[in-house]
Amino acid sequence: MTPAALKIIHDEHAALAVMLRTMGVLLAAYRKHGTPLDFTLFRAMLFYVDEFPQRLHHAKESDLLFPLLRERVPALGPVLDRLTSDHRSGSAAIRDLEHALLGFEMMGEARRPAFEQALETYVAFCLEHMRIEETQVLPVAEQVLRSDDWATLDAAFRENRDPLTGHAPADDYRELFTRIVDKVPAPFGLGPAL
C-alpha cells in the first residue's frame, strides 16, 4: 500500500501543477480577450502558491523526507542538494514574481511582458523541480524507507492538507482557496467566463 505521506506529496504536486498551469492559461486568456487582468485574483493565487505548497510542502520535504533519505541512500546526496537549493531559491523566485505582478498592476501594459516572462520561468522551474522529485526521489523513497520512517512522515504530512487535493484543508487556507476557485473565470474555475 502507498504510504500516506507519499500519496500526499503526489497529490500536492498535482494540485500545485494545476494552480501554476491555470495561472498561465488565464494570463493568456486575459490577453486574448483584451480584458483587464483581475489583479486581486492573481495576487490570491500567487499568495496561495507561496504559502501553502511552496512553504509547507517544501519544508516537509527538506526537513523530514530528505534527511531520512540521505541516511538510507547516500548516493542521492547530489540530487537532494539540488532540490534543497531549489526550495531555497523558490522563495526568492516567488517574491520576484509577486513583485513583477505588482509592477504590471502599478505601471500598466508596459510591464505585462515582464510578468508573463517571469510567470513562465517560475512555472517551468516548479514543474521541473517536481519532475525530478517524482522520477528520481519518490520511487527510491518508496523502495528503501522503513515502516517506522513512514510512520513519522505520515504523521507530519497529514498535518498540512491541501484543499486542492480533496483532503480536509487546513482552516487558515479554506477561505482563501474558496475565494480563488469562485473567482477563476470559467471554464478554468467557477467564476463568470471572460
- Distance CA(163)–CA(173), nearest Å, equals 8
Distance (Å, whole) CA 148 – CA 162: 24
Q: How many residues bind Fe ion (CB under 5 A)?
A: 3
**Shortest Å distance, C-beta 167 to Fe ion:** 16
Which of 162, 37, 9 minimizes the C-alpha distance to 111? 37
Q: Which of 61, 93, 173, 180 binds Fe ion (CB under 5 A)?
A: 61
3-state secondary structure of 185: strand
Is 2 in a helix, a strand, or coil?
Answer: coil
User: Beta partners for 57?
Assistant: none
Among 23-31, 56-64, 138-146, 150-158, the segment contacting Fe ion (CB under 5 A): 56-64
Nearest of 21, 9, 7, 45 to residue 126 by alpha carbon: 21
Minimum distance of Fe ion from residue 3's CB (angstroms): 15
Separation of alpha carbons 137 and 104, rounded Å:
37
Binding range to Fe ion, per CB under 5 A, among 27-35, 89-97, 104-112, 132-140 = 132-140
Residue 111 phi, psi (nearest 5): -95, 0
Pick out residues in 133-152 that bind Fe ion (CB under 5 A).
133
Instruction: Choose between 133 and 162: whose C-beta lies nearer to Fe ion.
Output: 133
Beta bridge partners of 191: 185
- The distance of closest approach from Cβ of residue 179 to Fe ion in the complex, given in angstroms and rounded to an integer, is 25
In angstroms, what is the minimal distance from the CB of 149 to Fe ion?
A: 17
Does 162 interact with Fe ion (rule: CB under 5 A)? no
Please identify, among the stretches 50-58, 98-106, 110-118, 149-157, the one whose residues bind Fe ion according to the rule CB under 5 A: 50-58
Identity of the residue, 10 or 179, whose beta carbon is nearer to Fe ion in the bound complex = 10
Q: Which residues bind Fe ion (CB under 5 A)?
A: 58, 61, 133
